[in-house]
Chains A and B, each alone.
Chain A
Amino acid sequence: MRTVLASSDIFEASTKLQAAATALEKMSRGEPLRHEERTILKWCGIFLEEVDWTVSAGAATEGASNRSVRATEIRPFFFATLRNTQQLFHDAGLQEADQVREFLSATYHSLKLADEMHDPSRVAHIDVAAAFLQRLSQELLSRLSGNGVPTERDRPTSIRA
């Protein structure tokens, strides 16, 4: 059976990541966040720690949340996005894989503590994080929608001159 509920998990993640990216952009401009926006930031922090097993604590624990179905399904897209956004990190001065990993770990931690994200000196950090979250949101949505590419059945089976 094609269960469309898996689609709605990915849809939910995509919408929340986009909302979080928008919230981070607001913060980088010094604008206050609503309670719902801080809730979404926290959600994203927990979610990304689940998905990114290179940084998550308890990664090797049986039954850990990073082994959940949702994390397993989204993880390949996460790493694809990470691969596709290497330039984003390089432009921000994060050349080495270890630096990126540290930056992401710090980002997830900050998201989970969304109430503490007031300090303007974190603006630069937040902008890169926002860009990454937006790209991941787009990656997930593209998987759902096909991004305008015809599906297998829509493609012509021959080309007529």
Chain B
Amino acid sequence: MCQQNGIAPPRFGRKRTGADKLDLRSDTLSAELRRHAQSVAQLAETLEQAEDFPNKTARDFCGVIRASAKLVYDRLSTAPPDRLPHIHVLLSALGEDLRYAERSRVEHTPWSLVQAMETFLQGKVGNQFRFIIRPQWSYNYAIVGDLLATYEGFFSSFPDWISLAEWHAAIGGSASDRIFSISFPRVERMNVLTHAAWGHEVGHILISEWMTKHFDGFWQKGAMEIEKAIRAEIEKDIKGPTLVVEQIVASYLNDTLSLTRQSLKELISDAVGAHFLGPAAFASLSEFSCRFDLDENPVDGGYYPPWRFRLRKLAQIILPEVIAATTDKWNPALLDYITWLKEWQKVTDSDADLISIQSDVRSRKAYELLEANYSTICAQVIGQLRPELQIPFTLTARFQEIGELIERIELGVPPNETGLWPETAPAEMPDIWNAAWACKVSRFTKNNGPEFDEYLTMLFQLALKAIEASYVHSTFGPLLPT
């Protein structure tokens, strides 16, 4: 073909002379991978046999890692020799991910919260979703997953070595699970109010479902126009070799893809958190954002939307209902709460974040695409939920229950149920969170000195107890004989 196109037959570089060296590296790597796979399997087995996990998910996850590593170990002698480095990446991922399970053990987590949270989350997304909840030293929340889908992706890349059917058989019943790891800041282990951020993490699962189905088509529709804008901007300033220009344009387009994807993920997840938890989601994000620059360009900020942008979007969801509410029968702490929530509108009135976004062609184009589609995508993502879950949480609908819970907190009693004995009902988790936030804000507005810190310690303990007790009540109460 080269002759036909008039291209001279390629002259080879120097012949490969390192055949012996190639065998030495391959043989060494093969032996190392065998040892590596065995170590990962043994470590996973040791963890799997620990008895101090707060839920079954972490233990079952260790079982998946053990079985996967053992399968690699058993089949290593027939591994394709040209892809041993890829097997290294696979084993590394399996071994590294054990940290999620290892850190989820009881001594590291607010263990009484874990089962309640997993049940709450499964109630929103389905029982096939399972969660490992663990602390991280980084001061942030995160969700990683679907871990099993990733391993499936890795194993499916070796169809000539290990079939997916073999891998599924090795891991057994876990093959149909979807396992995620949710992380929280270790130093905030007991700060259950900040853990309202977990509603946002559920949003990540829902937006990921949407993205699996729709994001490729969504991106493809906008990509050509975005590429033209980027190319025009680059070619204004760079008159270099074509390859350099192509690489920069490709890199910028990839940045814009990442900006679009990350902004959608974060903003839609915020919207889902607000859908399930109402003002508690907004309160948690507002408080968290105080630590950071509100207007960092997302190009420089790990592709994450500016905090002010996120607060504005959330305020647009939460505040209209709060502002329009008739509040004459509301608990006074709830009134303090909504006054405080409305204050945040002043923060979102500034457009400094928008100026930042406009300053770079990548963020500018990404956010144009986002803004044009945000409302539609929000509706589509919420539409993925079961019909009964599509009704958003509102204070207007829940003020009576929340008022009762606030009264319990003020008496130093966990806000775990409403009503009077024996006609009591377990409190709903969003109600507990909003009641606790209302109490926190009400106290903060009166006195935010050192006594406030002591109050918070008590509040965290009451809220944690409430979530645990409410979970026990709602899960096991119906099983008791009447």
Q: Which residues of chain A come closer than 8 Å to B10, judged between CB atoms?
A: 91-94, 103, 124-125, 127-128
Q: Which residues of chain B come closer than 8 Å to A7, judged between CB atoms?
A: 93, 150, 153
**Residue on B with the closest CB to A79?**
B247
Q: Counting CB contacts under 8 A, is B253 at the interface?
A: yes
CA distance A106 to B104 in the complex (A): 53
CA distance A99 to B5 in the complex (A): 10
Q: Which residues of chain B come closer than 8 Å to A5, judged between CB atoms?
A: 146, 149-150, 153
**Residue on A with the closest CB to B4?**
A106
> Once the chains bind, are A19 and B82 in contact (CB under 8 Å)?
yes
Q: Which residues of chain A come closer than 8 Å to B269, judged between CB atoms?
A: 1
Q: Which of A91-126 contact B (CB under 8 A)?
A: 91-94, 97, 99, 102-103, 106, 110, 121-122, 124-125
Q: State the interface size on chain B (CB cutoff 8 A).
A: 63
> Once the chains bind, are A4 and B13 in contact (CB under 8 Å)?
no
> Once the chains bind, are A12 and B85 in contact (CB under 8 Å)?
no
* Chain B nearest Cβ from A134, distance in angstroms: 8
Q: Counting CB contacts under 8 A, is A48 at the interface?
A: no
Q: Counting CB contacts under 8 A, is B147 at the interface?
A: yes
> Once the chains bind, are A145 and B142 in contact (CB under 8 Å)?
no
> Once the chains bind, are A127 and B12 in contact (CB under 8 Å)?
yes
> Once the chains bind, are A12 and B153 in contact (CB under 8 Å)?
yes
> Once the chains bind, are A22 and B246 in contact (CB under 8 Å)?
no
> Once the chains bind, are B220 and A83 in contact (CB under 8 Å)?
no
> Once the chains bind, are B11 and A3 in contact (CB under 8 Å)?
no
* Chain A nearest Cβ from B45, distance in angstroms: 23
Do A11 and B89 form a contact, CB below 8 Å, given A67-B224, A73-B254? yes
Q: Which residues of chain A come closer than 8 Å to B83, judged between CB atoms?
A: 15, 18-19
* Chain B nearest Cβ from A136, distance in angstroms: 14
**Residue on B with the closest CB to A142?**
B85
> Once the chains bind, are A4 and B150 in contact (CB under 8 Å)?
yes
CA distance A30 to B333 in the complex (A): 82
Q: Which residues of chain A come closer than 8 Å to B11, judged between CB atoms?
A: 91-93, 124
* Chain B nearest Cβ from A147, distance in angstroms: 10
**Residue on B with the closest CB to A6?**
B261
Question: Scoring A residues 1 to 29 as 1 if CB is less than 8 Å from chain B, else 0, what string do you get?
Answer: 11111011101101110110110000000
> Once the chains bind, are B1 and A106 in contact (CB under 8 Å)?
yes
> Once the chains bind, are B157 and A1 in contact (CB under 8 Å)?
no
Q: State the interface size on chain A (CB cutoff 8 A).
A: 61
Give the dominant DSSP class at B's interface.
Answer: helix
Q: Which residues of chain A come closer than 8 Å to B13, judged between CB atoms?
A: 87-88, 91-92
Do A15 and B257 form a contact, CB below 8 Å, given A67-B223, A125-B2? no
* Chain B nearest Cβ from A64, distance in angstroms: 7
**Residue on A with the closest CB to B225?**
A62
Q: Counting CB contacts under 8 A, is B18 at the interface?
A: no
Q: Which residues of chain B come closer than 8 Å to A60, judged between CB atoms?
A: 224
Q: Counting CB contacts under 8 A, is A141 at the interface?
A: yes
CA distance A124 to B257 in the complex (A): 38
Q: Which of B149-196 contact A (CB under 8 A)?
A: 149-150, 152-154, 156-160
Q: Counting CB contacts under 8 A, is A46 at the interface?
A: no
**Residue on A with the closest CB to B215?**
A69
> Once the chains bind, are A72 and B254 in contact (CB under 8 Å)?
yes
Do A16 and B157 form a contact, CB below 8 Å, given A63-B220, A122-B2, A124-B12? yes
CA distance A18 to B223 in the complex (A): 29
Question: Scoring A residues 49 to 68 as 1 if CB is less than 8 Å from chain B, else 0, what string do you get?
Answer: 00001100000111111011
Q: Counting CB contacts under 8 A, is A76 at the interface?
A: yes
Q: Which residues of chain A come closer than 8 Å to B147, judged between CB atoms?
A: 4
**Residue on A with the closest CB to B258?**
A73
CA distance A18 to B157 in the complex (A): 11
Q: Counting CB contacts under 8 A, is B8 at the interface?
A: yes
Q: Which of B1-52 contact A (CB under 8 A)?
A: 1-3, 5, 7-13
**Residue on A with the closest CB to B223?**
A67
> Once the chains bind, are B221 and A54 in contact (CB under 8 Å)?
no
Do A9 and B160 form a contact, CB below 8 Å, given A19-B80, A63-B220, A122-B2? no
From B2, B156, B201, give the contact of A12 (CB < 8 A). Answer: B156
> Once the chains bind, are A145 and B204 in contact (CB under 8 Å)?
no
**Residue on B with the closest CB to A103?**
B7
* Chain B nearest Cβ from A89, distance in angstroms: 8
* Chain B nearest Cβ from A6, distance in angstroms: 9
Q: Which residues of chain A come closer than 8 Å to B156, judged between CB atoms?
A: 12
> Once the chains bind, are A102 and B5 in contact (CB under 8 Å)?
yes
Do A22 and B3 form a contact, CB below 8 Å, given A68-B220, A97-B243, A144-B89? no
Other than the given A64-B224, A67-B220, A103-B2, 5 more pairs (CB < 8 A) read A4-B146, A70-B216, A72-B250, A102-B5, A144-B89
Listed A/B pairs (9) with beta-carbon separation below 8 Å: A5-B146, A11-B153, A22-B82, A53-B250, A62-B220, A69-B216, A72-B250, A79-B250, A124-B11
